[in-house]
Amino acid sequence: MPVRKFRSIEDMKAARGYERTDPRLSRIIEGLWDFGRKTARLRFPPGVYRYRNVEEMNARTAEWAEENFRAFRARRDAESEDAPAGPDSTPGRG
C-alpha cells in the first residue's frame, strides 16, 4: 500500500476513496468483511475466564492462538490440495 503525504486536512478529505452516500460503499464494505472472515476466522471460546495470575492467562491465550494457527494451516493445506496444479516447467530447464 503506497504512502501518501498531505499538506492539509482539506487535501486528505479530497483524497478519500468513497463518500458515505456512494451506493458502491456497502458492497465494498461487505467484500472487506467477507475477506476478513475467510482469512482470519479466529475462534475464542465464549465466556468469561478467571485466572490466578498473568502467566496462567498468557498461557491460555497462547493455546488459543496456537489452535487458531493450526486451523488456519489446515484450511490453507486443504485449499491448496483442491487447487489445480501449477504450470508445467519450462522445457530444458527441469
Mean per-residue pLDDT, 70-91: 74
State yes or no: pLDDT of 4 exceeds 80: yes
Q: Are 67 and 43 in contact (CB under 8 A)?
A: yes
Quick check: is 76 in a domain?
yes
Quick check: is 64 in a domain?
yes
Distance of alpha carbon 63 from alpha carbon 57, whole angstroms: 10
Quick check: is 88 in a domain?
no
Quick check: is 60 in a domain?
yes
Q: Report pLDDT for 3.
A: 83
Q: Report pLDDT for 94.
A: 44
pLDDT tens-place string over residues 5-60: 888 888 887 777 777 888 888 999 999 998 888 777 778 888 999 999 999 999 99
Average pLDDT, the chain: 83
Quick check: is 3 in a domain?
no
